[in-house]
Each structure stands twice: as C-alpha cells, then as structure tokens.
Amino acid sequence: MRLKLLAQIPNGPSVVHEIRSTHCVVGREGCDIVIESKFCSKRHLMLYDNREGELIMRDLGSTNGTRLSLTYGEPIEEAVLTEGSKFFIGNVEMTVIAFEAGPGIGDTAGYRYFIPHREEETITRC
C-alpha cells in the first residue's frame, strides 16, 4: 500500500508520514510511525489494506484506545478509513491524506495481503 498520514500535535509540529509497505505500525517506540505522546502505547495501532482494497485501522490493545473523535465516543477496535478520515491517539489527530492499495516498496509480482488475525468481526466504517 501507499499511504500518507498527517499527524497534528497540539501546540507542536504537523508531520506528514509516507508509508509504502504491506502494513504499518504506529506507536511510541520502535514503530513505522513514532508518536511521542504519553497517551500512545508502545505498539498502539496497525494500518493495512485488505483484499478488498480498503484501508483498515486496528487498535492493538492500547491502554488509552483509538478514537474517531477527540471529544466523544468510545475507543474503537477496528475501522475502515478513506482519504480524509481522521482518528485520534490521545490528543494527536491523524488524517489520511492519500491511500492507494497494492504492493509496497520491494514488492513485485505475487503480492500477498497482510491480514492479521482477529477474534471479532466488528468493523467501524468511516
């Protein structure tokens, strides 16, 4: 997949992250996208494209959860995101700027989709 995310930190910088891979992990330490926030878990969430070409965001059991709104709503486990979708890790707003399903860097023929195991089938559509 090819993905551009805008991370907006209150009273801080806005950063655009570009990912070209089958999936990407967002977290506080040692992840593809590092968010330096006390509300972010070490491995907070994963973004990947499924076989239908959708961008899936899955919380990885984070302590503070992932929300689709800063001010209300329960944390979500999984959501289908599109260009323009927003989600929040604590007070950090993440916006999907661009998304294209398909192979990442180094992938050629025989692209394999990364589909993590899930116990429940609850998916929030954005």
Model confidence pLDDT, tens digit, residues 45-88:
999 998 889 999 999 999 999 999 877 788 999 999 999 999 99
Q: What's the structural domain count of the chain?
A: 1
CATH of the domain at 39: 2.60.200.20
Integer Cα distance of 87 and 66 in angstroms:
7
The pLDDT value given to residue 118: 45
Whole domain around residue 118: which residue ranges? 2-125
Give the distance from CA 126 to its chain's centroid: 13
| pTM beyond cutoff 0.85 | no
Model confidence pLDDT, tens digit, residues 102-121:
765 444 333 334 444 444 44
In percent, how much of the chain has pLDDT > 90? 63
Sign of the alpha-carbon dihedral angle for 42, 98, 78, 92: positive
